[in-house]
């Protein structure tokens, strides 16, 4: 006795349904992956520290806090943007400096120096920092973030970088 094989023919309707589903899946994948990459990439990108010139060491009187401004070019794909930043520099002695990132460690507001009180103040949430960077008031979770520096060719060179805000430990952003 001969066995009959099941009918494996596909109807025209079933074929069109499967083809439509395959095309939709392909288009969703082709559009979805780049969109997901576009959305997720900035969060995964680590900012690289950059060495900038803060000026000549003699521009900073011993014992005073001074702002040192600099500019750099930030590249994002084909877009170039000139960015102005600054750091707080305190000259402790002839060759010893303390350089602070100017952002409050709570939410990133720019801290201001008050020479009469010899303290840094964060205007948005009342953070108060001593000249040593230590927190003495408000919600900041850690002291001001210090930056590495070196003196090279008669200039104070600073390794500028930002740090993750709102956490107790100093972690590069």
Alpha-carbon gap, residue 163 to 146, rounded angstroms = 10
pLDDT for residue 112 is more than 80? yes
Contact call for residues 128 and 138 (beta carbons, < 8 A): yes
**What share of the chain in percent tops pLDDT 90?**
64
Alpha-carbon gap, residue 27 to 71, rounded angstroms = 43
Task: Note the pLDDT tens digit of each residue in 140-157.
Answer: 999 999 999 999 999 999
Determine the pLDDT at residue 35.
81
pLDDT for residue 168 is more than 90? yes
Reported pTM: 0.71
Alpha-carbon gap, residue 28 to 137, rounded angstroms = 52
């Amino acid at each position: 006795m001969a066995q009959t094989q099941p009918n494996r023919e596909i109807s025209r309707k079933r074929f069109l349904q499967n083809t439509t589903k395959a095309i939709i899946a392909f288009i969703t994948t082709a559009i979805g992956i780049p969109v997901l990459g576009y959305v997720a990439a900035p969060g995964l990108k680590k900012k690289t520290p950059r060495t900038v010139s803060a000026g000549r060491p003699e521009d900073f009187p011993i014992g005073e806090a001074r702002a040192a401004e600099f500019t750099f070019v930030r590249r994002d794909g084909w877009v170039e943007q000139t960015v102005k930043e600054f750091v707080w520099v305190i000259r402790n002695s002839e060759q010893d400096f303390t350089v602070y990132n100017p952002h409050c460690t709570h939410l990133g507001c720019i801290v201001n120096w008050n020479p009469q009180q010899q303290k840094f103040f964060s205007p948005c949430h009342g953070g108060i920092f001593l000249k040593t960077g230590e927190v003495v008031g408000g919600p900041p979770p850690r002291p001001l973030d210090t930056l590495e520096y070196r003196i090279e060719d008669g200039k104070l060179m600073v390794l500028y970088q930002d740090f993750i805000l709102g956490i107790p430990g100093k972690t590069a952003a």
